[in-house]
Structure 1
């Protein structure tokens, strides 16, 4: 099994969620976070004064999928989160050793 973590723009959460849902991946977790990448934030102007915002709002979306679904899910997220601009985000894929459904005790793929 693989855990897929995607750090995306808040404006793209619904598109990513809907694309995953349409493909049959309904279970996911999302967390509002702040972060920065290579651009190290942005410069904004407020009341005529420039100021630097170096931690931008992002959303982390996480889901666990069987090994053979990893590439499909990564591509769904990548396409749905894409704007073509700096700050579109990153996708990370991590191994998952075990999954247990608390309610039933089912494990691994049956627990997904």
Structure 2
């Protein structure tokens, strides 16, 4: 049997083992999309009431905003435009993604510019 991602997420968190009926919101912030679903739980059964998403919002978009911010700040401070340097951009992309992941568990993350 195939189930959708929100139901799989709810099962992974053990929400099917709760004794009470409730409605929950499950979100999936992927690399390229942001999806939200509302599920109803009752008697160990899930029903998806509504689902929607934005295909123009995801982790890659957050990474790009951080990269743009870093490039702009570096240019202001040093007069060097890193947006023309492919190797520097790749290092910034890696650093931005690492910082994003770090910020899932801490309140601050440091990025060293190339």
Which band: TM-score by shorter chain? under 0.3
Structure number with higher relative contact order (C-alpha < 8 Å, ≥ 6 residues apart): 1
- TM-score of the pair, normalised by structure 1: 0.25
- TM-score of the pair, normalised by structure 2: 0.24
Larger radius of gyration: 2
